[in-house]
Amino acid sequence: MKVVLTLTEGSPHFGLLDDLDLPDMRIVTVTTPEELADEIVDADVLYGFPTADLLQRGKALRWIQSPSAGVNYLQNLAELVQNDIVLTNTRGAHGPSIGEHTFALLFALTRHIPESVQAQRSHYWARPELYRTSREMRGLTMGIVGYGAIGRAVAQRAKGFDMEILAVDTHPDPGAPFVPEPWGMERLPDLLEQSDVVVVAAPLTAESYHLLDAAALARMKPDAYLIVVSRGGIVDEEALADALEAGRLAGAGLDVTEIEPLPAESRLWDAPNTVITPHTAGDSSEKERRCVEILRENLVRFANGETLMNLVDKQRGY
């Protein structure tokens, strides 16, 4: 069995695979697109991101371990959706990092960190402008859109700040932790109307594209915050810019956008009370290690003919 590793998420921790006692497995690490094109021809397993060209060349591929949790590239890869190659992802690896980043964005807004940093650069003590304008998390309601591994990691941290938690999901799990009972997506309007903070933690699919459009955003409280940390495209960014510019939201924290990098002409760059980070919520050395730990476990399972972790339903897109 031949396994091809690409230098993507987790690559600094590939040493975790060195002591795998799987005599029939040969692991090859590629560093260039040319090497990948050559090695994929007779590979059974790919750790990396599939493309139409790789699928065309990799006739022996049986399993792809995606380095990311999101697999929205499936929308443009009918070749993968329609064949019998097994697809798994790194669901769960990114939860702690994204959970923390969610609150970094939220606290930047509620504690006026960008304004304080700007004042610092100007050597100005901004207390007169910022005094008595901050908000506490305690007692606020956080609504989480998408209650998978990322949504639950966010909720776990929200519990630590004594927040009330609501959640909606396409497939709500009655036994899910940190929330009394997740709702189905039909309750999204209720979540938007009741929440002081709305966190987008859902995968991007055909069904979730522009899920939060102008009408949905209008349901949010005017003093509520929107935090987007899973995938761009779920929020209609023109509608969001309209809401922020009109003062119909207290602020937004965005780590992902529909087009990345965010185009220079996007209105979101200059929207009031908006904090933008460049898709770094999932980044941490610890996350990189967890990605390889998932790969390692799945390599053992694959070699032994066992069910793999984090199987992706290619029809659903997650």
Active site residues: 231, 260, 279
Three-class SS of residue 135? Answer: coil
Three-class SS of residue 85? Answer: coil
Tokens 């990189």 found at:
288
Tokens 């090859």 found at:
28
200's tokens: 């987008």
DSSP class of 263: P
Q: 79 and 100 in contact (C-beta within 8 Å)?
A: no
Torsion of CA 131, 136, 141, 147, to 10 degrees: 110
245's tokens: 């510019």
In this structure, the strands spanning 26-30 and 45-47 are unpaired
Three-class SS of residue 106? Answer: helix
Strands, E, within 140-223: which ranges? 141-145, 164-168, 197-200
What secondary structure does DSSP assign to 72-100, as a single string?
GGGGG-HHHHHS--EEE--TTTSHHHHHH
Tokens 């064949």 found at:
83
